[in-house]
Structures are given as structure tokens and as C-alpha cells.
A and B are shown apart, each in its own frame.
Chain A
Amino acid sequence: MLLKPARGKISPFESIKGRRRREAVKLYGIMFPVLLHIFIFCYIPMYGIAIAFQDYHPGNPFIAFDGSVKWVGLDHLKKFVTGMYFTRLFGNTFRLSLYLLVFGFWVPIVFALLVNEIKGGAFKKFLQTSSYLPYFISTVVVAGMVLSFIKSDGIINSVIESLGGKAKPFTTDPKYFSSIYTITNIWKTFGWNSILYLSAITGIDQNLYEASKIDGANRLKQAIYITLPSIVPTIVVLLIFAIGGLLSANSEFILLMYNPAIYETSDVIGTYVYREGLLSGNFSFGTAVGLFTSVFNFLLLYAANSASRKYSSYSLW
């Protein structure tokens, strides 16, 4: 025992295996707080999904086998799927995301192509900087601004009236919500989403453009036949993600924008989980609804990825 090495020093008498094990213990010791945090804040809530299949009341353990937990199987899920709001919630969530996909997905691509055509340094920088700006402004401020613009005497109605139209009840008539949601979300993210496309464009071989010029291609043709095909991999990856998120509308934004008068078109699964699950305390039911969304989204992502792998040879995994 006299030869026991001092801590932290490498002893010539220790086997290589033992030394490696000691190193590993030290390294895991360093990251232990992180592993513990992930266990508590990521894995325990996953295990908490179990309450979707019980009648959970605050104070119960998530899982127990002493009979204190009442298992109800898929009852909550059935209640949601057959419930009176299901079609409305599912429809709204799907429709809002689909609008964003159809009307918004191509905007950053076109914007990236446009930016790429601008050769001047200062203006190009200004254009990019201002297009990213809305992304950095908080959702609360954006919602507050939009709400003040669309109210009965806001700027939008002022302009409509000064053009001879009639003021429209944007905040209380359900039929306007989809447009407001789609336009605001596109406005907030198009610049930011163009960054990935722009970085893909900078990687394109300049010789392609030189060659096409000799063949007489103008700038529009170059954009369509060289730039666009070169960024197809990026487009496909982002499209798969967008399809995978079809059942996850931006509920944080909707929570700020909606009111009971327009629930008909604006209430989505995320906001419903917040109201019914959290505010009303139906924890098991809310968890079941949330689980339904996650599973459905994952299936969509999986389907989109498989389709892409089959037809375009690009895929996430």
C-alpha cells in the first residue's frame, strides 16, 4: 500500500486498463450534472406521459403498482377523438400549418435567389439585415403590433377606409384569422429562413455560371437552371421538416392573437392543451391530446422522409 499513487498522478505500477477506467470515472464526473439534469428534465417528463392512460390527480405518483393509480387505457384519447371539438381543432391546426407551407415555403427560396442577384455590397447587406430583423423581435411584441394594426381603428382599417372601403372586423370575425396568421408568420421568418439557402448558393461552382453565359443563358435562366437545382437538397430537407410539423401550428403566437370570438378558426391543438389540460387542470386528458399530436407528427415526418428517399434520394436518415 506504500506504493499507492497520489490522486491525479499517473503511476507506472497501474495497469493501462485501470488507468483508462479511472480517467473515464473522472470524465463522467465532470459531465455528471449535465447527465442528471437531462435525466430529470427530459426523461422524467417522458415517463410522465404514462398519466395519459390514467386518471391522474395532483399528488399521485406517475406510476405505482399499489392500486393508487387508476389506469383507464385509451379512454382519454377516445374522448378527444370522438369529442365535439376534435374536427375543429384538428382542422384548424392542419389548415394553418398547410397555409404556411403552401404560401410561405417558397418565399425564402425566392428571396434568396433575389438577394443573390444583387451585386452591390452595402444595399445587399442592408436588405439581408432588415429581412432578418422581425425574427429577433419577440412574439409578444409582434402580436401586440399586429393586434393594434388590425383593430377597428388601426392602420389597416384606416387605409381601407381612405381607399373608400369599409372597415373590417379583423379581430372578431373568424374568417380573417388564417390570413393574419399566415402573413404575420411569413413576415417574421422569411428572411431568417433564407440564410440556409443563401449559404447553399455561395457553395455553387462559379464555372457553371461562366459556362452558361457562353451558352447564352440570361440571369433568369441561370437562376432557374443552375441556382435552383443546386439548392434542391436544402429545399428537400426543410420541406421534410415542414411536413413533419404539420400538426404543430405556432400555438405560442396563436395564444397571443386569438380570443373566444374567433376560436372557430383559431383554436388549435396546442392552445386547447394549454386551456383544457393546464388551466382547467385536466392533466391526464391534456397529456393524451399532446401525445396524440407528437405521434401524428412523427408519423408525418417518417412518411415524408420515406417518400423523399424513394423519389428524390434525399433523406434525413
Chain B
Amino acid sequence: MSLLSKKNPNKIKEGSRIADFMIYFFAILICIATLYPFYYVAVMSVSDPMEVASRNVYLYPKGLYLDSYSLIIRDSKMWTAYWNTLIYVVCGTALALLTSVIGAYPLSVKNLPGRKWVVRYLIVPMYFGGGLIPTFLLVNNLGLYNTRWAIILPTAVNIWYIILTRTYFMGIPDSLRESAFIDGATHLQLLFQIIVPISKPILAVIAIYKIVGIWNSWFGALVYLPNENLHPLQMYLYRVLVQQTVNLKDLAFDEATEAAKKIFSNIQLKYAIIVFTTLPIIFTYPFFQKYFIKGVMLGSLKE
């Protein structure tokens, strides 16, 4: 900048160094505030239990202790929970994509009689809902209580995704549909063989929203699933970290492990399990971030 202004004395000076310094100072402060808690948890999870207990660990790991991780890896309850989450993510995402596509396609067809009423039918539930208890009673009456379906079915349709998908479909040129019809395609063929393949950008946005949403959800399991074998990962974490009904110390320690370590390592096991269950999100997050931002933009266009 300074070089430029020397070359070109008429150029208007852009900002001062002090302003730049302040901006970067605050920006770095914000980075530390958002990242340090995660870093701290990771550092605590691998440090020596005695150092952790005497509260000496802040900036870098002291000693190296990976037993917490090897204990967690042998925890069958956690793997069950991981497996359940995988089932919920796969089924939930597949259903959300399917229902968004079949819900959006008819509404994107011009001249569909009664379209106005169907759109109203979709919009009302976006503003009003029955609330926690009537929904709970419904799920109960349908016989879904304490089954995997209680997690998968009630959220299978997302009206917001249908509207996003419809907006995208309406941007597809009509000539494409017409030529498909002239070739004798049915609506379903047109939808799944032509429209869906060219709608990958919007479907990717929906899939990623849904995957992260299901991965992070736990309240449905709290309300509908007393059976611990059906619990998703976050519900397992809830039991470990908040309710403390799962005591990680009970996981079999080798007899050789010193008594002191047993006592001090419970908190460390918690840190380790946080790291172990959050890593998949942290590692994939930079890749899916752009889809999320796209989703926000698409949403705001509607407003």
C-alpha cells in the first residue's frame, strides 16, 4: 500500500495502520475465542491424568496419555450409538430428499389446478404447530413410541425444503420438459431421469442440512426412546456428559492401571469422548460449509 502511494501521490490514502492493527487484533481475538475451547478439550484429553487433575494444562499437552481413547474405542455402547446415528442419518436424509423432490415437482408445473390452495396448505404449518405434547400423543397413538420410526418418520417431510426445491425446479427451462414429453416420457420419468440429475446443487444443500441436523439432534430420542439400544450418539453423550448416568469409570480398566489414574481420568474420558464424537463434524465441516452458506442465501431470497 505504501509503495503504491509513493508511486502515485494523488491516490487517496486508504485507512491508517492503526485501524488495520485494531481490526486484525480483534479478528485474532475472535478466532481464539471460538477455537480455544475445542483446542483445550483436545489438549486435556491427551494429557497425563495427574497433570490434568492438578490443573496444569492450558496451552499444550503435558505428558501423553492415550488410554482414555483406547477405553472409549472398546466401549460397545458408544459404537451402538454411532451405528444408530448412522441409520437415522441415512434413512432421514434419503426420505427428506425423496419427499422434497416429489413434493416440489407438482408445484413447479405451471397451470396445476388448485396450486394456490396446496401452497397455503404447506405454509400454515410453517407458522403454527401443535406443540410438544399433541405431537407426542400422536406418535404414541400411531404406535411409533420407542421404535426407530419415532425418530425417522415425524421429520421425514420438511416443508421448507420442498419450497426451496420448488423454487429451483421452476428455474429449469420449459423446453427441457416439453422435449421429454414429446419423447413420450411420463412425469415420474421426467422427474427422476432429467430433473433430479440437473438439480444436484439444491439436493446437496438439503442433504447436508439434514445430515448435520440429524447428527446433532437428541431431543427426539429423549422424548420418544426409553430404549437405550436405540439411542443416537448425541443421546448417549447426553447420558455421559450431562445426566452422568453412564459412568465411564466403569469401563474395564486394566489391573495394572494405577488407582490414582482411575479416579482422575473420569473427566478426561469425557473430554476424549467429546473429541471422538465431534471429530467427524470438525473434519468434514470445511467441505460442507459452502453448501450451508448457499442454503442461507437461498432462504433469504424468499423473504
Residues of A within 8 A of B (CB): 8, 20-21, 23-24, 26-28, 30-31, 33-35, 37-38, 40-49, 51, 58, 62, 111, 114-115, 117-118, 123, 126-127, 129-134, 136-141, 143-145, 147-149, 153, 155, 158, 187, 191, 195-196, 199, 213-214, 218-220, 234, 237, 252, 255-256, 273-274, 277-278, 283, 286-287, 290-291, 294, 298, 316
**Within 8 Å of chain A (Cβ to Cβ): is B265?**
no
Instruction: Specify which chain B residues have a CB less than 8 angstroms from the CB of A237 in the assembled complex.
Output: 303
Assembly CA distance A111 to B26 (angstroms)? 10
The segment from B60-68, B125-133, B246-254 that touches chain A is: B125-133
**Within 8 Å of chain A (Cβ to Cβ): is B40?**
yes
- Taking a contact as CB atoms under 8 Å apart, the answer to whether B15 and A34 are in contact is no
Smallest CB separation, B144 vs chain A (Å): 10
Smallest CB separation, A38 vs chain B (Å): 6
Within 8 A of A (CB), among B262-303: 267, 270-271, 274, 277-278, 281-282, 285-286, 289, 292-293, 296-297, 300, 303
8 more A-B residue pairs beyond the given contacts A138-B234, A196-B296, A283-B137, with a C-beta to C-beta distance below 8 A: A27-B112, A45-B135, A133-B34, A136-B281, A140-B241, A141-B241, A286-B133, A316-B303
Smallest CB separation, B23 vs chain A (Å): 5
Given contacts A144-B274, A237-B303, contact A139 B134 (CB under 8 A): no
A-contact 0/1 string along B183-209, CB 8 Å cutoff: 000111001000000000000000000
Of A27, A127, A187, which is within 8 A of B27 by CB? A127
Give the tally of cross-chain contacts (CB within 8 A).
231
- Taking a contact as CB atoms under 8 Å apart, the answer to whether B102 and A20 are in contact is no
Assembly CA distance A115 to B35 (angstroms)? 17
Of B121, B282, B285, B289, which is within 8 A of A35 by CB? B121
Assembly CA distance A290 to B137 (angstroms)? 14
Assembly CA distance A42 to B218 (angstroms)? 21
Instruction: Specify which chain B residues have a CB less than 8 angstroms from the CB of A47 in the assembled complex.
Output: 130, 134
- Taking a contact as CB atoms under 8 Å apart, the answer to whether A44 and B138 are in contact is yes
- Taking a contact as CB atoms under 8 Å apart, the answer to whether A141 and B131 are in contact is no
Residue with the highest number of chain B CB atoms closer than 10 Å, among A44, A62, A136, A199: A136
Given contacts A31-B107, A33-B99, A153-B55, contact A139 B285 (CB under 8 A): no
**Within 8 Å of chain A (Cβ to Cβ): is B169?**
no
Smallest CB separation, B207 vs chain A (Å): 15
Of B26, B134, B240, which is within 8 A of A48 by CB? B134
Given contacts A37-B99, A114-B27, A130-B31, contact A219 B300 (CB under 8 A): no
- Taking a contact as CB atoms under 8 Å apart, the answer to whether A38 and B281 are in contact is no
- The 4 nearest A-B residue pairs measured at CB: A45-B130, A48-B134, A144-B241, A138-B216
Instruction: Specify which chain B residues have a CB less than 8 angstroms from the CB of A130 in the assembled complex.
Output: 31, 34-35
Of B15, B157, B286, which is within 8 A of A41 by CB? B157
- Taking a contact as CB atoms under 8 Å apart, the answer to whether B129 and A46 are in contact is yes
Of A30, A126, A278, A290, which is within 8 A of B191 by CB? A30
Assembly CA distance A43 to B125 (angstroms)? 7
- Taking a contact as CB atoms under 8 Å apart, the answer to whether B216 and A139 are in contact is yes
Of B12, B129, B133, B277, which is within 8 A of A278 by CB? B133
Assembly CA distance A31 to B12 (angstroms)? 60
Q: Size band of the B side of the interface?
A: 35 or more
Instruction: Specify which chain B residues have a CB less than 8 angstroms from the CB of A158 in the assembled complex.
Output: 55
Smallest CB separation, A93 vs chain B (Å): 15
- Taking a contact as CB atoms under 8 Å apart, the answer to whether A294 and B131 are in contact is yes
Assembly CA distance A47 to B241 (angstroms)? 37
- Taking a contact as CB atoms under 8 Å apart, the answer to whether A33 and B138 are in contact is no
**Within 8 Å of chain A (Cβ to Cβ): is B24?**
yes
Instruction: Specify which chain A residues have a CB less than 8 angstroms from the CB of B217 in the assembled complex.
Output: 138
- Taking a contact as CB atoms under 8 Å apart, the answer to whether B134 and A287 are in contact is yes
Instruction: Specify which chain A residues have a CB less than 8 angstroms from the CB of B267 in the assembled complex.
Output: 148
- Taking a contact as CB atoms under 8 Å apart, the answer to whether B131 and A34 are in contact is no
Assembly CA distance A274 to B131 (angstroms)? 11
Smallest CB separation, A43 vs chain B (Å): 7
Smallest CB separation, B7 vs chain A (Å): 18
Instruction: Specify which chain A residues have a CB less than 8 angstroms from the CB of B216 in the assembled complex.
Output: 136-140
Smallest CB separation, A220 vs chain B (Å): 7
- Taking a contact as CB atoms under 8 Å apart, the answer to whether A45 and B131 are in contact is yes
Assembly CA distance A30 to B196 (angstroms)? 15
Chain B's closest residue to A153 (CB) is B55
**Within 8 Å of chain A (Cβ to Cβ): is B227?**
no
Instruction: Specify which chain B residues have a CB less than 8 angstroms from the CB of A145 in the assembled complex.
Output: 37, 41, 274
Smallest CB separation, A30 vs chain B (Å): 5
Of B102, B131, B234, which is within 8 A of A291 by CB? B131
Assembly CA distance A30 to B159 (angstroms)? 16
Smallest CB separation, A17 vs chain B (Å): 10
Instruction: Specify which chain A residues have a CB less than 8 angstroms from the CB of B168 in the assembled complex.
Output: none
Of A118, A252, A287, which is within 8 A of B133 by CB? A287
Chain A's closest residue to B33 (CB) is A187
Smallest CB separation, A128 vs chain B (Å): 9
Assembly CA distance A274 to B267 (angstroms)? 29
Instruction: Specify which chain A residues have a CB less than 8 angstroms from the CB of B137 in the assembled complex.
Output: 48, 51, 58, 62, 283
Instruction: Specify which chain A residues have a CB less than 8 angstroms from the CB of B289 in the assembled complex.
Output: 129, 132
- Taking a contact as CB atoms under 8 Å apart, the answer to whether B133 and A273 are in contact is yes
Given contacts A136-B281, A139-B216, contact A283 B133 (CB under 8 A): yes
Chain B's closest residue to A41 (CB) is B154
A-contact 0/1 string along B106-148, CB 8 Å cutoff: 1101011110001001101101111111111110101000000
